[in-house]
Structure 1
Amino acid sequence: MTIIDGTGAPPRAAMRLVLKGERIDSIGCTCEPLPPNATVVDLHGSYVMPELVDVHVHLGLLSGLTISAANYTEANIASHLRRFQSYGIGAVISLGSDRDEILAVRSATRVTSSPLVYSALQGFGVPNGLPPLELGFDQAYRPATADEARSNVDAVALKGPDIIKIWVDDFWGKYPKMKPEIYGAIIEQAHSRGLKVAAHVYHLEDARSLVIIGVDVLAHSVRDGELDPDLLARMKANGTVYVPTLSLDEYAFAYPDESPWLRDPFFVGALEPGVLQMVTSAEYRTKLKADPTTAAERKALPIALKNVASAYKAGVKVALGTDAGATPIRPQGYSEHHELGLLVEAGLSPLEAITIGTKNGADLLNSHDFGTLEVGKHASFIVLDNDPTVDIANTHTISTVWHRGTCVFRATK
């Protein structure tokens, strides 16, 4: 087999992995002797890469065509995690839409074969603003003052979130936007608690203000202007992680265009019941074409593609995120692979995109257990039929998925 280890190193052919329990015991060439009594799994001709890490998803809210707090059950979350697993996603950050029930789910994923769950618990929005109450975000903190914001951070910190999420956006003037004194207080208080802060963002000047104040993660692309050299330099110096969520922008307008992936079984298999019928209906296409935000989203994607390329070239750490599960049109599992394709469309190499989708997400989580295939780390990997460094779409050719030393998914051929 050929190993693509996620570190950015070139693929290595004629290799073998030796697993011991849930970890990688050794990596070597096929010419080396195997340990005595080893069970051999023949992966000759296959390509092996780490499981993907998605640092921006939403668990539990999506069911069929609905996004609702009423859908937030452990059974629904488990269904979402099974879908992620079948597409080779080994860890996710559920970013700001969770109820406290996620804590038990998170703990369970440390001792089961499920994808690892990380959570921001309840995020921080604006009174009468984002995140939208009608989409199930009824648990979000909505501080009106800096003191209230600090108190809210202290309250959520006691529960043990992995990161803090804030929304800084007015959704094209539809909602009030979080003020700098509020998000500044949140960032300062979170840092005093040892927590990173990820910001939903859209506008260039909001991103600039957030980076100056010290936000750790921009959880979406800047889409109303180009990232300039001064901002890029500050992002690199601060260690700001840029999570472009390119697929989100494409989904917002692409369905009426009869995109080639629309009938791809790899895409269709990730959809909730009823979604394919909805997005291919004449009614949906008419509605989308009449929506003025559709044109704005169409203009946003080229800017987002250019900005992620600029950020990467400037040395800014880029990680993979999709916002999957926040709406029915952002399918969990497929979106991560689609995001890799858009990173390549932006000008990155397939190998660079793979590193963004594996190692960089694990680095954001300060994990030394997954994200790359190295001795001592979890044996969590995807086995592919074809080489993704030649064509990034070959990440779709999943044969099996292994998570912590166990085969957890086998494709039906």
Structure 2
Amino acid sequence: MHVLRNGTVVDADGEREADVAVEGDGIVAVGDVGRGDAETDVSGRYVAPGLVDSHVHLMLDGRPDVATVQSESAFDHAYAAAANLRAAVEAGVTTVRDLGGPGTLALDAGRAVAEGRLVGPRVLACGENITMTGGHGHWFGREADGPDEVRKATREQLKRGADVVKCMATGGVLTEGARTGAPELTYEEIEALVDAAAAKDVPTAAHAHGKEGLLNAVEAGITSIEHGTFMDREAAAAMAAAGTYWVPTASALFDIVDNPDAGIPPSAMAKAEASAESFVTSFDHAAAEGVTVAMGTDAGTPFNHFGDIPGELEYMVEYGMTPAEALEAATVNAAELCGLDDVGRVSEGYRADLIVLDSDPTADAGAWTDPDHVFAGGERVV
């Protein structure tokens, strides 16, 4: 048994002075803990749950033009995924949800981590994202047209063991020729996807920037809206009423806007700049209507590196959330979205995904950067 001694535990349930005992991959006691086989003194520091990033792309490495990965082999993509997993877990991210990559890349990466062949966070994955022919992300997704094709494409991902099914409800910033907010898959196509996923009780996610595509997804029963760039009050109200999660991915947008003349394709830069103002107001609409927010970064997109994932919490605070709300979004909310009931809290019976921080993350969202210690499934990584 390994005991973290003399720290302040902080999670969505608040703060308390407590020791934390870890045995195997789980937390076995929190509070007044007896002597351990090994002990780490964390006096004056904060013991928090590992972060959960509910939107990443393991195949991407933050390069300015993501489309260039098309010329690379599956081996290149696997090496990128391995490096990204290591960078994420060393930054204190102990669970990631991959929302689109070629073939079974991310699903295989998840098995490799679970079996101890790779060091990294727990991986949940969708397999290939489902998009219309020529739609956003078509070059690494599963193209499908019409409800029957979409249903079959969904079942293919489920057969592979997908933990979530992802679709492209609208165009996007990084696909040449796609209009960012324009609907792509129809309501009927998204409804078929949701229905097929429900047969296996698997959650769904929709890339959606524009209002029409977003509302199509919400009405069809999608579990989470990714991005939600042009969300207005009506769209936010619909999401809140349906219990639809919002995964903002601020890092994806602003890591493009903040890097002009750095090799990002001009079309992507123009679309990102045109989206930025609307995106900021989305936070106001979501807060006013009580939309549940789960943290996600879209890590792997331009200059959006896996080692920088904790910076997403600072964006969330910059645009209106409190540090405590950001903590909740990045732990229990994201865990619930991912269907995990043993992640996101420092509590007996939970998985020993823990990070030790120098300062209080409920007072400063920047506290998450550069953790002193990281434990993933009970194994010390940092």
Same fold (TM over 0.5): yes
The aligned counterpart of 1:79 is 83
Instruction: Report the 3-state secondary structure (helix = DSSP H, G, I; strand = E; otherwise coil) of the residue aligned with 2:259.
Output: helix
Is the Cα–Cα contact under 8 Å of residues 378 and 404 in structure 1 kept in the other structure?
Answer: yes
Greater gyration radius: 1
Q: 2:21 aligns with which of 18, 23, 38?
A: 18
One-letter amino acid matched to 1:93: R
The aligned counterpart of 1:116 is 122
Q: Gaps (5+ residues) in structure 2?
A: 1-6
Q: CA deviation at 1:171?
A: 4.0
Instruction: Report the 3-state secondary structure (helix = DSSP H, G, I; strand = E; otherwise coil) of the residue aligned with 1:78.
Output: helix
Is the Cα–Cα contact under 8 Å of residues 51 and 90 in structure 1 kept in the other structure?
Answer: yes
Q: Deviations over 1:315-354 (max 9, x none)?
A: 32210111111x34211120x2221011101111101101
The aligned counterpart of 1:91 is 95
Q: Deviations over 1:163-214 (max 9, x none)?
A: 1111122348923822333222222222233222211111012111211121
Do residues 396 (structure 1) and 369 (structure 2) align? yes
Is the Cα–Cα contact under 8 Å of residues 249 and 296 in structure 2 kept in the other structure?
Answer: yes
Is the Cα–Cα contact under 8 Å of residues 132 and 138 in structure 2 kept in the other structure?
Answer: no
Relative to structure 1, is the Cα distance of residues 37 and 180 closer, same or farther in structure 2, using a 3 angstrom cutoff?
A: closer
Is the Cα–Cα contact under 8 Å of residues 98 and 120 in structure 1 kept in the other structure?
Answer: no
How is 1:98-247 mapped onto 2 (pairs within 5 angstroms)? 98-112=102-116, 114-133=120-139, 137=140, 140-171=141-172, 174-175=177-178, 177-223=184-230, 226-228=232-234, 231-247=235-251
Instruction: Report the 3-state secondary structure (helix = DSSP H, G, I; strand = E; otherwise coil) of the residue aligned with 2:84.
Output: helix
One-letter amino acid matched to 1:194: D
> What is the count of residue pairs matched by the alignment?
363
Q: Deviations over 1:90-141 (max 9, x none)?
A: 01111021422443332232243531011100111111222142xxx1xx22
How is 1:312-351 mapped onto 2 (pairs within 5 angstroms)? 312-325=287-300, 327-334=301-308, 336-351=309-324
How is 1:259-278 mapped onto 2 (pairs within 5 angstroms)? none
Relative to structure 1, is the Cα distance of residues 155 and 394 closer, same or farther in structure 2, using a 3 angstrom cutoff?
A: closer
Q: Distance in 1 between matches of 2:355 and 2:73?
A: 30
Q: Deviations over 1:365-413 (max 9, x none)?
A: 221221111111111111111222222112114111111222111xxxx
The aligned counterpart of 1:278 is none
Q: CA deviation at 1:162?
A: 0.5
The aligned counterpart of 1:385 is 358
Identity %: 27
Q: Deviations over 1:199-234 (max 9, x none)?
A: 1111012111211121111011232x5232xx3333
One-letter amino acid matched to 2:153: N
Is the Cα–Cα contact under 8 Å of residues 56 and 95 in structure 1 kept in the other structure?
Answer: yes
Is the Cα–Cα contact under 8 Å of residues 98 and 119 in structure 1 kept in the other structure?
Answer: no
Relative to structure 1, is the Cα distance of residues 75 and 297 closer, same or farther in structure 2, using a 3 angstrom cutoff?
A: closer
The aligned counterpart of 2:325 is 352
Q: Gaps (5+ residues) in structure 1?
A: 257-283
Q: Distance in 1 between matches of 2:303 and 2:9?
A: 33
The two structures, once aligned, show a CA RMSD in angstroms of 2.4
Q: Deviations over 1:253-273 (max 9, x none)?
A: 1124xxxxxxxxxxxxxxxxx
Relative to structure 1, is the Cα distance of residues 201 and 24 closer, same or farther in structure 2, using a 3 angstrom cutoff?
A: same
Q: Distance in 2 between matches of 1:251 and 1:101?
A: 25
